[in-house]
Structure 1
Amino acid sequence: MNTTKKHTKPAAAPRGGNPDRRQVKKKKESTLDPKLFVKKAQPSGQEGFRTEKSFDGLGLSSKLLQNILAKGYQTLTNIQEQSILPLLDGRDMMAISKTGSGKTAAFLIPIIEHALKDPRNFTALVVTPTRELALQIEEEFKSLTFGMQLYSATFIGGTNINSDHTKLERKLQVIVGTPGRLLDLSDRKVLDLRKVNTLVLDEFDRMLDMGFVLDVNKLVNRIGKREQTLLFSATLEPAQKKLIDGLLTNPIEVKVTSGSSTNENIEQQTIRVPEGQDKFEVLADLFRNPELEKVILFTETKRLADRLAKKLIQSGISAGQIHGDKSQNFRNRMIDEFKNGTIRVLVATDVAARGIDVADVSHVINYQLPMTMDAYIHRIGRTGRAGKVGHAITFVN
């Protein structure tokens, strides 16, 4: 592992005013061309998703390799093949790869190897934009480190901060969290960010936008010098290049996808609601098709998410909802019920677009148009994962 300390240059916050004010003034109507949401799937299958390279050839520790194989990972995915060895060498990295392509394991496997070499003095901080994504990253870490005496914890809003104090009494090799809670713990002097060796910004395009960049800048300043910085996402915003350059030193750039295209494994179509016809009736009629087995239904507003979930249940379709006004316990329960099939439809705002990693989501339905193409890419990326074919349906006016 490269032990040379570096990265004294923090990410600079863009000018332009209060990020919360910008969110309030968000456009009510999407200006995206509906033609963007129509595309035939060109499935590559597992063959295009995974390479022929085995994990055996990476020189990993025997216990980590055993845990990888126990998870059913036989060969590397494309992003893993291009990322793991440079990260093991201690390089900085910006990596772009579509959702469901194995990005989390691509950065966790090298982190685990580094932690094993010096567990007392190694700390990786993984920062995410959503609570759900943070929880899933820690779940992946725990499965990969089973029986290895490496420890992690997740720090997110909506949970009891006093219990966070207890978690931090133990030496943690991996800390996962959302920016607000991490800064709160740092302000309380219970989380010492100066001890962080490796910084990961997952879904970095979201982390560096106006809603998060001020908090990310504070975190970077408090960490100061560090050995390695990793930026991972499915999309890339060209306007963020200056911010990215300020975070990375002599980085490796990995682009398995262009960062602006949708997953080729997703069949994309639109539905126009005839004038005078009830939009919900059109939606409910879709669920007569048993192929809509496990569906995420996206809306732009929390109020509509609640209303649609209630109407679906009244129509005999099992449904639940998650959005920012729901408690973390409620959100966790809804995702668990969606995973185990208790509910067929999960109605969500964009809080879930980057936070849900559920196997075999058959369809994503956009009941309302997303405001940006990046939002669309992340929404529909909940289906068609791990080389499987998925379906995306978008309602348009």
Structure 2
Amino acid sequence: MLSTGVVKHLFNVLKIIKMYKTKKRPTRPASKFNRTRSDNKKSKGTNIDINKFINRTVINERQEPYQIENNFEDFPLNAELIRRIKERGYSSPTEIQDKSINHILSGKNVVGVAGTGTGKTGAFLVPIINRLLANPAHFDTLIITPTRELALQIEDEFKKLTIGARLFSTTLIGGTNMNKSLAALARPSHIIIGTPGRIMDMAQRGKLPFKNFPLLVLDEFDRMLDMGFIRDIERIISQMTARKQTLLFSATMPAAQEGIINKIVPTSVRVKATTALKSSSNIHQDVVSVSEGENKFDSLVRILSNENIHDSRVILFCETKRRANKLSKQLNTAGIRADEIHGNKSQQAREKALKRFKDGKITVLVATDVMARGIDVTDVSMVINYEIPKTYDDYIHRIGRTGRAGKAGKAVTFIN
């Protein structure tokens, strides 16, 4: 059964397609959303609202900027940890950190709503590291993520915040050698980070006793539900007999999830970043219409050619793995350095593509939605939606890869 939001979304898309096929045009602009013709020609109606269903999300979610109430020094944190935080360039907490850290330090269960780029990783890592500095118990924390890339990013941040502290982590993700995972678990670790599938594999082999972990973190829980991991999560939780604290973070909190969340975390403090689920005002958003018979790929190349291509980082989202593979090959043939990241690629290939993108060795990273929340790269200048995202939330998550840390970004969505 489709949700009301999705039905409205599809209805608007059909109206858009019909409008262009019948050559009908609204007589006046309905919003600030721009329409960009793929032939770069100006005409009447350049400000036509042909994508109001996306723009509505942006308008309705605007709120006053949150005023940070604490500095890191105000939290009861280890002095050495505060020093490492400062060395990482974090001068003050983000909103979700400001609202979460004290609750987590006091041992409360926390359910947080926060999207990409809000500092949610630090919101749970900082108090966890503080806890481990005081009591470095092995197998203390289990962190579960929906994607391999997100697990690796959490591990990377943990290592940077614990340099010289003799705190160790193990990351368990699919697409890597099983023997390496087994060998890693043979060494004592304070936190385990991983995706549900590989974590369950290790448990079934008797190498990961869930009963030992007092602290559970579920990161990007909504995406885990979307990817069908709920049964694995429930099996893991049922065996965590020593669980004393649960931290659940989600970019969205639809009513349909409330029953599941209340079952997992029956008593919790709820916190929400006001920046969650809204588009940054730093992102200039355009729609590109491709006329019937026009070559869509040629339009894509023209858009990319208008950018300073050698100094740009562009993420190109498409719906299928096959399309991602084809677009990557076509872009390279056209002289635009590109690579792809999707579920059919091995973990090694995905890590290599992401590293090449971060290092500036490729300009365009072609990705599917499954990978959308696993990409955390600074200085992404543009996000391109080669097809219309399925939901408003997917749109926000995608374009949230650009316009971060106060920098300007662009988002372009193709409409056929």
TM-score normalised by length of structure 2: 0.83
Letter in 2 for 1:205: D
Q: Aligned-pair distance for 1:248?
A: 1.1
Deviations 1:330-363 (A, max 9, x none): 1000000000100000001112211010001111
Name the SS for the 2:288 alignment partner.
Answer: strand
Partner Cα separation in structure 2 for residue 388 and residue 321 of structure 1: 25
Cα distance, 1:215 vs structure 2: 1.2
Structure 2 CA distance for partners of 1:163 and 1:258, relative to 1, 3 Å: same
State the match for 2:295 in structure 1: 278
Mapped to 2, the partners of 1:111 and 1:233 lie a distance apart of: 18
Q: In structure 2, what is the equivalent of residue 4 of structure 1?
A: none
Gaps of 5+ in 2: 14-50
* CA deviation after TM superposition for structure 1 residue 35, in Å: 1.9
Please state if 1:132 is matched with 2:134. Answer: no
Deviation at 1:383, TM superposition (A): 1.4
Q: Does structure 1 retain, via aligned residues, the 8 Å contact 2:58–2:278?
A: no
Amino acid at match of 2:321: K
Find 2:350's aligned residue among 302, 322, 331: 331
Q: Distance in 2 between matches of 1:102 and 1:90?
A: 20
SS at 1:230 equivalent: strand
1:226-375 correspondence to structure 2 within 5 Å: 226-257=243-274, 260-291=277-308, 293-375=312-394
**CA deviation after TM superposition for structure 1 residue 227, in Å:** 1.1
**Greater relative contact order: 1 or 2 (C-alpha under 8 angstroms, separation 6 or more)?**
1
- For residues 265 and 194 of structure 1, the distance between their equivalents in structure 2, rounded to whole angstroms, comes to 46
For 2:67 and 2:315, the matched residues in 1 are separated by 26
Aligned to 1:219: 236
Report how many aligned residue pairs link the two structures.
368
What does residue 88 of structure 1 align with? 105
Instruction: Give structure 1 stretches of 5+ with no counterpart.
Output: 1-15, 17-21
Look up the match of 1:391: 410
Kindly provide the amino acid, as one letter, of the partner of residue 372 in structure 2. Answer: A
Distance 1:250 1:32, change over 3 A: farther
Check the 8 A contact 1:134/1:176 in 2, yes or no: yes
Which secondary structure does the structure 2 equivalent of 1:343 belong to? coil
Match of 2:124 among 81, 101, 107: 107
CA distance in structure 1 between the aligned counterparts of 2:90 and 2:12, rounded to whole angstroms: 38
1:377 partnered with 2:396: yes
SS class of match (2:234): helix
How far does the alpha carbon of each residue in 1:239-283 deviate from its partner, in whole angstroms, 9 at most, with x for none? 010000011142111111385433343222211112221000100
From 200, 204, 225, give the equivalent of 1:208.
225
Letter in 2 for 1:115: L
Work out which of the residue numbers 100, 112, 119 in structure 1 matches 2:136: 119
Taking a change above 3 Å as real, the CA distance of residues 303 and 161 of structure 1, as seen in their structure-2 partners, is: same
How far off its partner does 1:296 sit? Answer: 0.3
Q: Note closer, same or farther for the CA distance 1:291–1:238 as it changes in structure 2 (3 Å cut).
A: farther
Going from structure 1 to structure 2, the CA distance change for 1:49 and 1:164 (only over 3 Å counts) comes to farther
| Partner of residue 42, structure 2 | none
State the 1:40 CA deviation.
Answer: 11
Aligned-residue offset at 1:31: 5.9
The answer to whether the 8 A contact 2:139-2:192 is kept is no
- Give the Cα separation in 2 of the matches to 1:84 and 1:185: 31
TM-score, structure 1 as length reference: 0.87
Question: 1:13 — aligned with what?
Answer: none
Q: What is the letter of the counterpart of residue 36 of structure 1?
A: F
AA paired with 1:168?
Answer: L
Label 1:342 to 1:350 Cα distance change in 2 as closer, same or farther (>3 A): same
**Aligned residue type for 1:182:** I
Contact residue 305 and residue 347 of structure 1 kept, 8 A:
yes
8 A Cα contact 1:208 1:216, kept in partner? no
Q: Which has the larger radius of gyration?
A: 2
Q: Partner of 2:112: helix, strand, or coil?
A: strand
